[in-house]
Amino acid sequence: MAVATRGGTVPGAGTNTGTIDEAQREARLVAAEEQAEELFAEVERRGLIAAGERESAVSDRVRDLAAELFGVEKHWHKRVVRAGPNTLEPYRQNPPDRVIGADDIVFVDLGPVFAEWEADVGRTFVLGDDPVKLRLQADLPRVWTDARAHFEATPDITGAQLYAHVCELAEAAGWEFGGPHAGHLVGEFPHELLDGERIESYIAPQSTKPMRRPDVGGKRSHWILEVHLVDRERRIGGFREQLLTLR
């Protein structure tokens, strides 16, 4: 069956994820990401990321909006809203809750679960007109696209090799890469409980297996690519992530 949502349907949602073929699986992962992108668009339309708001309050409002628009009840990883100097911190850190400033750069990292299918999308917003922050925001999709092009052109690439290339792209653009990894496997919920501590599940320096390989369940591996660019001197960072292997 299909579950109706504001953004359409997730094909075959509600069925046993172990019985679907690869084409159906890929369609559901893409549909989940499309809905996450629509959620981001609605966050921007409603002006939820605003000066004077605490990061935690914005996170709660995004959670409530996901429930309102798509009936989302689960997020497969913690919701991340980071502003100002907190944007330097990678995912696993938990910096103090911060009030968003009038001239801040802010990134949001969401992991909503749409009908048992994980999405993982991150975007960066700039309040004000600071040219360095705007350049950082503009560089994120370019670096992400260049990294994906390298992945597509290198059939046997490992996670370690792609991580190194993303770091090189960040440096060439005038930034430092801010994360210990540049992405991870994604799939049916709850992926993180199965693979969260396995280094081969990450695009990281110690991940030496080819990325194009079967996952632990024997299915095609699908990856999220993350780009975290930082300027430690100016104490700002930006973040972008989305599906690497589909779309």
Model confidence pLDDT, tens digit, residues 109-118 = 876 665 566 6
The pLDDT confidence band at residue 231, using thresholds 50, 70 and 90, is: very high
Q: What is the pLDDT of residues 193-226, one digit of tens each?
A: 444 458 888 999 999 999 999 877 788 898 999 9
pLDDT of residue 197: 56
CA angle in degrees (0–180, nearest 5) for 134-140-144: 165
| More confident position, 91 or 106 | 106
pLDDT of residue 147: 98
Q: What is the pLDDT of residues 63-86, one digit of tens each?
A: 888 888 877 666 545 678 999 999
CA distances 228 to 89, 115, 116, 118, 210, Å, are 9, 28, 27, 21, 23
Q: Please tell me the distance from the alpha carbon of residue 195 to that of residue 159, in angstroms, as a whole number.
A: 15
pLDDT of residue 62: 87
**Residue 15 in this model has a pLDDT that exceeds 70:** no
Count of residues making up the chain: 247
- Residue pair 30/247 in contact (Cβ under 8 Å)? The answer is yes
Is the Cα dihedral 28, 141, 159, 228 positive or negative?
negative
Question: What is the pTM (predicted TM-score) of this model?
Answer: 0.85
Q: Please tell me the distance from the alpha carbon of residue 111 to that of residue 3, in angstroms, as a whole number.
A: 19
pLDDT of residue 77: 54
Q: What is the pLDDT of residues 161-174, one digit of tens each?
A: 999 999 999 999 99
Percent of the chain with pLDDT over 90: 55
Q: How confident is the model over 80-109, as a mean pLDDT?
A: 93
pLDDT of residue 212: 96
Asked if the 3-243 domain carries CATH number 3.40.50.2300, the reply is: no
pLDDT of residue 74: 60
**Residue 101 in this model has a pLDDT that exceeds 90:** yes
